[in-house]
Amino acid sequence: MYVLLIYDIGVKRVSRMLKLCRGYLNWVQNSSFEGELSEVKLKELKSKAKKIMNEDEDSLLIYTSRDSRWLNRETIGVEKMPIDEFL
């Protein structure tokens, strides 16, 4: 399944979250990641993210689409991370 992840994390925790997400998905823009993940890998990522987060302050939005073809992406301005091969 195709995953799009956006986080809003406290400054003390954000570098650990960045490192974690980079291990699973492609960084596309500030606090935004994208890529193909299995159910198992997404579950793993979510449980690790919860260990980093302060769930009273931080926010993690995970969008999933069963097929990347159901999701179009358009970039205006700087393509921070050219990942044409993903979407």
Contacts of 4 (CB under 8 A, 6+ apart): 32, 33, 34, 62, 63, 64, 65, 71
* List of residues contacting a second copy (CB under 8 A): 4, 6, 8, 28-32, 46, 49-50, 53-67, 70-80
Asked whether residue 84 is marked as a ligand-binding residue, the answer is no
Shortest Å distance, C-beta 21 to a second copy: 12
Shortest Å distance, C-beta 54 to a second copy: 8
Q: What's the CA angle centered on 8, arms 80 and 61, to 5 degrees?
A: 90
Shortest Å distance, C-beta 86 to a second copy: 12
Binding residue ranges for Mg(2+) = 8
